[in-house]
Structure 1
Amino acid sequence: MRTCFDPEEAEEFEAAKDLLIRRCVTWAQEHGHPVDDLLLSAAVDARHESRDGRLAYWDGASIRFFLLRYVPYKVTAPREELDLAPATLRTYLRFLDVTGLRDPRGATPAEAEEIIDGTRAEYSAALDDPTLRGVATFWAHTALDQGVDLTVPGAFERFKRDLDAGRVPYDEQVLDQIMQNRFLYGGIEEERAFPQPPISLPPASELTEAAARSKTVQRLITLADWAGKDGRALTAAGNLRVADALEVSALLGTGEDGLRVRSATDLPQLNLLLAWAKKLRLTRTSKGRLFRVAKAAPLLRDPEALWRRAFEVLPELGRVVTVPVTTWRPEPILAEIFREILPDVLNSMYGLDDMPVVRLEETVWLACEEYFVLDQENERLRDLWRREVAQDLGRMFEVLSDLGAVELTRGPADPLYASDLDEVFSPEATERLRTALAEPDLPLIRLTPLGLRAVRDSLLTDGRDAPLLGELATAPPAELLGVLTQHYPPQDATTELQGWLARPGQNLETLLQAVRDCPFRTRVAAMLRVLAEALPGRRLLHDLRHDPVLGPAAWTLLIDDGEMDPGSLSEREHLLMGAENFLSMLELAGPEGLVEQLRGMGGGDAYGFVEAILASGHPDVVGLRELRELVAEPLRRTARHPLRLVPTRRPGDRGRRKKRKR
């Protein structure tokens, strides 16, 4: 049972969604919890359509988005049904929790329910506001208001004909506002982001010390203290006097105090620090003087908090980071798209070591060509622009290095960075890169631990999945294994699992019991696989051969790996393994898909196959019930002459089954 699918995996997602809804509705009815199929489907869709696509991950932002944006924008139903959305979401999150499907990195069950309760008034107000609807939802609600039963085939088409003929009244002002909102803010659709690799970070104390050592943090504190509460005089143009600019440059250690300049604006590093301090509200100008902001004192006493804030506002400082060259251009190219380029560059470095700077230069130039209409005919001018972008990018890296977000070194490039050039770049750029990457001493760049943490924080804020090794150390066993099976490469899964097992009270038996308790056969197989690969010796599956619950799954994996001979199974074990496979197929293909496959495999005897499976004694009670109700019954109703499989054992005929008429 996967809970994350790529956008291209439409069929796989729909099968998983049907399974989730079917199981959740049954569970809710058995336990007396309110549930609505339509709203449950919308909840699953909302997470699938999100930036990270994790169906079982729900935090405060995703809960509020679903209730306050997604449902009003996308879901069409009578008001009394829409009012059930908070209760249905609560039921769904409880179901994820009790079945072990919940992603433990989201809100806890208690936190989630508190958030849902806290949105009730806002949710009601959102439903009352028709301008929050999408265009399609607006027309669907208009049809409902006209008494159109949208469940009747052809009803909406007839409504559209009446609408085109001018026979349907509607609120033109609301529609105009909806169209304006879409033009100004876009819809609620989110583009799926690439999953990020797990990273590790040093202890928090080391990150705090690193922030205090940051050259930029120290300079910002020094600059604010130099300005002081009494302030420093400014020129009529609002700049520092040259003498004061050279004085503070010496204090800051920028190396600009020895320059002969006519204006303080000729000192680029000082200009950047002044702009940075102003953006952070460490300093302010008033009545011709530069002052330290009194309310900034707590931030100035906390280097780590100051570092975080300095990193957050850096994308807004593109004009002063990218020092303009002396050309006719009024603005450097990189400055105009700095807010977009800086996060993209940092994200591309995330989780990688020693990236060649020249590779990033070509990537950024490629982005510039997409953002701007450049003169394609003037090759000399384009080459000049490309070199200027590379120069400005180098300045950006120096600023990030002074901040302590990146580390600049030199050395040979990893062959990885030359392996996909033809797939990404033009022939001209590919040739440039091949030549450059062959050099033995290249400028290289990597994120520091401070930079890694900051980029990860921004990824999480953007709704992306960014695993951190160690964050699952206290996760419930089922939820731990569920995340490892889907979001961690084998080596990182081993690291995370060993860390989990190292904590008191957390052992292999608790993990195995979580697997036994899992009500989804495909998830059981994935959990066992990650355990078998992560534990030394890989004897786990062999040790589980005689486990009454996990045996069939272990046999299947061992046979798939070629470590077990199918002929070594008894008749009853063959039947149990067949049940394991049938129940897995039911989860993956859905009832209709399994019925079709069985008919193709067994023809008129398909019902007999299923009847034998139902009598196998497989421990998956929930799966067998679904198999009986959703697969066996349709097959029985269409069977020509129902048959029963009776296991028999004859000398020299292991594993064969004999058919007998009832």
Structure 2
Amino acid sequence: MAGRRRNTPDHPARSGPQAAPAESLLPADYDLAELYGAGGRDEDDEDLDDTAVLVPPIALPPEEELAAAAMAVPLVAHAVKLARWSAPHRVVDEFGDLVEEDRAPAARLLGLAAEDGEVTEEAAVEVLRAWSLACDLDLVELGTTQAGEHVAVTMEEAADAEAGDPAIVLDLWLTAAGIVRELAVDTDSLDTEGETPDTEEDEDAAETGLAEVEEASEAAAELLDEAMQVLYELTAFAEPGDETVPLGVLAALLVVPEGEEPDEEMLGEITDIMVALDPMLADLAELGVVEHKPIDPDLFEEEEEEEEPVEAAVPEREATAEDAARFGLVRLTPLGQYGVREWLIADGYDAPLIGDLAKGDAAALLRGLAESPNVMPDREIEVWLARREPVAAARELLAASRGLDAYSPVRRLYTMAAVISLGEPGDTALAEFVDDPELGGIARELLRNHGKDYPAPERADVLWGTVDHFAAVLLTTRGDAAQLRDLVAGLPVTDNPASYFGELWRVPHPYTAQVLDTVGELHLDRQVAKEARKAAFKAKSQKGHG
């Protein structure tokens, strides 16, 4: 699976092999932001490039639930059922397909035809598709007897799958999803096959046509991979129940450059990608990878019936949810999340699960939260706390948050958030740290805020805590100026900034100088900024002489 790339002016979006003609601009009748509620990402968002793709952590149901969902996919269930029905072996034709006389009983076995009813052509096709998948999944093995008879022998995996073995079922489903994923991007090659070239010119034309088909399939595969990874990211950050994405939003995220609004040309590209993705997503939906509502085919007929250009014929009006739905909807299922994650891992990407960090002790949890670039701290802390007794958990976190190393401010930031979330048990643990050299000041401050009768922190503790909190925000925001300005403006600088910073630069904290430098850069009051820069110089000088 290719790493997901956002489109830039130097990297134009490629349309899939089934892209609509340029004049068929389905979404162009509406404003994109109005219709889909989405456009390019904000300029302040972190850029992801081709060499450093961060895959957000996700939460997956237990394997038993995923396996049950996989066995609920009709095509997979039918393949398993046919394989078991064939045990220990069954005669097949020379191509490995079920013989003619077995197809009707197979259709009735799968519930595709009534016991005494006629088997339709559609039912027979479904039987052959399910049998073909059973062969592809090695649920049956094709061979020849000594008498020259072609047979299919049922493998043990068929019984294990029917019994619901999660590992076997998920492995079979993942293989099936991979097969469908490959078939979904295959381009119709009928024009380049089936005819024998009569001349050298015909042979060259056939080779050129085949190369074009292969190129189109590769482009479609890349487009589908990028779309699935974007869906994976969107689903990871979505609130429960909000995982469904308009197809136009998905296409826009592949077309619209960072921080830009879509123009008319981009709207055409978005339409092309929507039309290219639509049938591919329909194929994946059959395996339960996604839930998919296709583009309304009437949209094309409506456009063809228009005698005037679309821009003039369609009156301006506010788009509705129903309008957006007509352009297609897609939702990555939990089973689909499992599948995409496995594909990402196979391609060498780190695709963590929420709760991975919560498996260790407090020190391991805090180290992972501080050092991992793609982590959801709140979710990891929530999982970690849920597995432990509250007071003991708070006590362990507080002890592990001590230190003056590079990541220590971040550890304390996450620890205090976790302890506060525990309520009274957290306060019980905090009371044990009121005299701690590093944690005592913040412990007393939090307890007082919660109505407990404790003396106010010493001035030195308050200043140390100010630097420590600022350093944590500086580290977790990666120095983002927009997120730091409010913190800078909220510093308790009095009318005498020289006095305040004269105290602050003496704070024995490893990040004192960096904090003062940041204040000097971002504070809107020129006098305050000047005093902060002077204090930063003194803090660096003191550190150099230390």
TM-score by length of 2: 0.51
Give, as a single letter, the amino acid of the residue that structure 2 aligns with 1:252: L
Give, as a single letter, the amino acid of the residue that structure 2 aligns with 1:400: L
1:409–1:444 contact (8 Å) kept in structure 2: yes
Q: Mark the CA change 1:300 to 1:241 in structure 2 (over 3 Å): closer, same or farther.
A: same
Unaligned runs of 5+ in 1: 1-188, 368-376, 411-426, 591-596, 611-626, 634-662
The answer to whether the aligner puts 1:192 opposite 2:119 as a matched pair is: no
Per-residue CA distance 1:366-407 (angstroms, 9 max, x = gap): 68xxxxxxxxx9x99x9899646523432321x123xxx445
Aligned pairs for 1:497-508 (under 5 A) are 497-502=384-389, 506-508=392-394
Deviation at 1:221, TM superposition (A): 1.6
Q: Mark the CA change 1:338 to 1:546 in structure 2 (over 3 Å): closer, same or farther.
A: same
Alpha-carbon separation, structure 1, partners of 2:382 and 2:537: 50
Give, as a single letter, the amino acid of the residue that structure 2 aligns with 1:511: L
Q: Mark the CA change 1:472 to 1:587 in structure 2 (over 3 Å): closer, same or farther.
A: same
Alpha-carbon separation, structure 2, partners of 1:275 and 1:285: 11
- Indicate the residue corresponding to 1:583 in structure 2: 510
Per-residue CA distance 1:199-240 (angstroms, 9 max, x = gap): 252x454445444544334212222134444433325x6654
1:232–1:290 contact (8 Å) kept in structure 2: yes
1:341–1:364 contact (8 Å) kept in structure 2: no
1:300–1:306 contact (8 Å) kept in structure 2: yes
* Aligned mate of 1:286, from 134, 143, 147: 143
Give, as a single letter, the amino acid of the residue that structure 2 aligns with 1:250: R
Deviation at 1:344, TM superposition (A): 4.4
Count of residues in Structure 1 that have an aligned counterpart in Structure 2: 376
Give, as a single letter, the amino acid of the residue that structure 2 aligns with 1:218: A
* Aligned mate of 2:278, from 390, 414, 428: 390
* Aligned mate of 1:216, from 67, 75, 85: 75
Q: Mark the CA change 1:467 to 1:230 in structure 2 (over 3 Å): closer, same or farther.
A: closer
- Indicate the residue corresponding to 1:51 in structure 2: none
Per-residue CA distance 1:456-506 (angstroms, 9 max, x = gap): 444445454444444444411112123345555464245224314348x94
Alpha-carbon separation, structure 1, partners of 2:50 and 2:273: 33
Give, as a single letter, the amino acid of the residue that structure 2 aligns with 1:513: A
- Indicate the residue corresponding to 2:16 in structure 1: none
Q: Mark the CA change 1:549 to 1:587 in structure 2 (over 3 Å): closer, same or farther.
A: farther
Alpha-carbon separation, structure 1, partners of 2:389 and 2:106: 52
- Indicate the residue corresponding to 1:554 in structure 2: 442
Aligned pairs for 1:152-167 (under 5 A) are none
Q: Mark the CA change 1:335 to 1:193 in structure 2 (over 3 Å): closer, same or farther.
A: same
Alpha-carbon separation, structure 1, partners of 2:419 and 2:253: 46
SS of residue in 1 equivalent to 2:395: helix
Q: Mark the CA change 1:555 to 1:227 in structure 2 (over 3 Å): closer, same or farther.
A: closer
2:81–2:162 contact (8 Å) kept in structure 1: no
Give, as a single letter, the amino acid of the residue that structure 1 aligns with 2:150: R
2:441–2:461 contact (8 Å) kept in structure 1: no
2:58–2:354 contact (8 Å) kept in structure 1: yes
Alpha-carbon separation, structure 2, partners of 1:542 and 1:386: 55
Deviation at 1:455, TM superposition (A): 3.7
SS of residue in 1 equivalent to 2:142: strand
Q: Mark the CA change 1:588 to 1:365 in structure 2 (over 3 Å): closer, same or farther.
A: closer
* Aligned mate of 1:530, from 395, 402, 417: 417
The answer to whether the aligner puts 1:632 opposite 2:545 as a matched pair is: yes
Q: Mark the CA change 1:545 to 1:338 in structure 2 (over 3 Å): closer, same or farther.
A: same
Per-residue CA distance 1:63-109 (angstroms, 9 max, x = gap): xxxxxxxxxxxxxxxxxxxxxxxxxxxxxxxxxxxxxxxxxxxxxxx
SS of residue in 1 equivalent to 2:436: coil
Per-residue CA distance 1:235-285 (angstroms, 9 max, x = gap): 5x6654455444423323457974348x97xx2x44543343233222343
Give, as a single letter, the amino acid of the residue that structure 2 aligns with 1:196: P
Which is bigger in relative contact order (C-alpha 8 A, separation at least 6)?
2
- Indicate the residue corresponding to 1:91 in structure 2: none
- Indicate the residue corresponding to 1:516 in structure 2: 402
Per-residue CA distance 1:516-548 (angstroms, 9 max, x = gap): 256444334433443355333897999689433
2:291–2:331 contact (8 Å) kept in structure 1: yes
Unaligned runs of 5+ in 2: 1-48, 194-212, 256-264, 295-310, 466-503, 518-529
Q: Which range moved further: 289-298 or 307-316?
A: 289-298
1:518–1:524 contact (8 Å) kept in structure 2: no
2:57–2:354 contact (8 Å) kept in structure 1: no
More helix by share: 1
Aligned pairs for 1:40-79 (under 5 A) are none
- Indicate the residue corresponding to 2:3 in structure 1: none
Deviation at 1:291, TM superposition (A): 0.6
Alpha-carbon separation, structure 1, partners of 2:214 and 2:323: 29
Q: Mark the CA change 1:464 to 1:354 in structure 2 (over 3 Å): closer, same or farther.
A: same
Alpha-carbon separation, structure 2, partners of 1:300 and 1:516: 50
Give, as a single letter, the amino acid of the residue that structure 1 aligns with 2:398: L
1:318–1:338 contact (8 Å) kept in structure 2: no
Q: Mark the CA change 1:464 to 1:296 in structure 2 (over 3 Å): closer, same or farther.
A: same
Alpha-carbon separation, structure 1, partners of 2:127 and 2:186: 12
1:227–1:290 contact (8 Å) kept in structure 2: no
**Considering only aligned residues, what root-mean-square deviation do their CA atoms show, in Å?**
5.7
Deviation at 1:509, TM superposition (A): 1.1
- Identical-pair percentage: 18
The answer to whether the aligner puts 1:276 opposite 2:163 as a matched pair is: no
- Indicate the residue corresponding to 1:42 in structure 2: none
Deviation at 1:512, TM superposition (A): 0.9
Deviation at 1:309, TM superposition (A): 2.1
- Indicate the residue corresponding to 2:21 in structure 1: none
- Indicate the residue corresponding to 2:365 in structure 1: 480
* Aligned mate of 2:534, from 596, 601, 604: 601
Alpha-carbon separation, structure 1, partners of 2:510 and 2:170: 50
SS of residue in 2 equivalent to 1:196: coil
- Indicate the residue corresponding to 1:259 in structure 2: 120
Q: Mark the CA change 1:390 to 1:586 in structure 2 (over 3 Å): closer, same or farther.
A: same
Deviation at 1:360, TM superposition (A): 6.7
Q: Mark the CA change 1:342 to 1:573 in structure 2 (over 3 Å): closer, same or farther.
A: closer
Give, as a single letter, the amino acid of the residue that structure 2 aligns with 1:526: L
2:434–2:444 contact (8 Å) kept in structure 1: no
SS of residue in 1 equivalent to 2:287: helix
Alpha-carbon separation, structure 2, partners of 1:474 and 1:498: 11
